[in-house]
Amino acid sequence: MRAACLATLFALTLASPALADDTREIGYVNTAITNLGLTRSHRVVVERFDDPEVRNVSCWISQARTGGVGGMLGVADDPSRFALTCAATGAVEVQPGARRGNRGEQVFESSTSLFFQETRVHRFIDEQRNAVVYLAWSTRLIDGSPFNAVAVVPIR
C-alpha cells in the first residue's frame, strides 16, 4: 500500500504543470492590526512571478492575507480576494512548449488555506488576437462560482 501511494505521488509530481520558478514578494500594506499589534496584522501582499513558457512577461498578484495567531501559524483561512495584472518587460516570445487550447496551462499557485484552498493563475494563448491571457481564480467556491480576474498581454 505504501509503495502504491509513493508511486502515485511520484507520478503526480512528474505530471505537474510548469509553474513559475521565481515568485517574489514585492511588498505589503497592513489593513488591520490584530491582537494589539502582538501578532502579524491583516495585510494585502503583492507578489511578482514570471511565466516560464512566455519570455519577457511578468505578472503581479495582490492577495489578502489573514493576520493574528492563525496567520502567523499558517492555519488561517485567507479570503479569496485578489487582483492580477501582467505586462511585457521586453519582446514577448511564446515558447513552443506553451500549452495551447481552451484548457490553458497553470503557471502560478498560492496556498490560501491549510485545507486545499488556493489561488491559481492559468495562461491561455489567444492566437486569433495575438495575445496571452492570464486568468486568476480561487479554488474556493463562493455561491457556485469562484472569484476570478483576467489580465492580457499583447504579443508584438
pLDDT at 27: 93
Residue 97: inside a domain: yes
Which whole number is the average pLDDT over 117-140?
A: 90
Higher pLDDT, 75 or 79: 79
pLDDT band at residue 141 using 50, 70 and 90 as cut-offs: low
pLDDT band at residue 138 using 50, 70 and 90 as cut-offs: confident
Which residue is it, cell 492570464? 134
Give the chain's domain count.
1
Residue type, 93: E
Residue 3: inside a domain: no
Residue type, 38: L
Residue 86: inside a domain: yes
Q: Quote the pTM value.
A: 0.74
Residue 10: inside a domain: no
Query: What gap in Å lies between CA 64 and CA 31, rounded to an integer?
Result: 9
Residue 132: inside a domain: yes
Residue 131: inside a domain: yes
Residue 12: inside a domain: no
Query: What gap in Å lies between CA 69 and CA 40, rounded to an integer?
Result: 7
Residue type, 17: P
Domain that holds residue 26: 18-154
Residue 120: inside a domain: yes
Higher pLDDT, 48 or 147: 48
Query: What gap in Å lies between CA 151 and CA 93, rounded to an integer?
Result: 17
Which whole number is the average pLDDT over 97-119?
A: 81
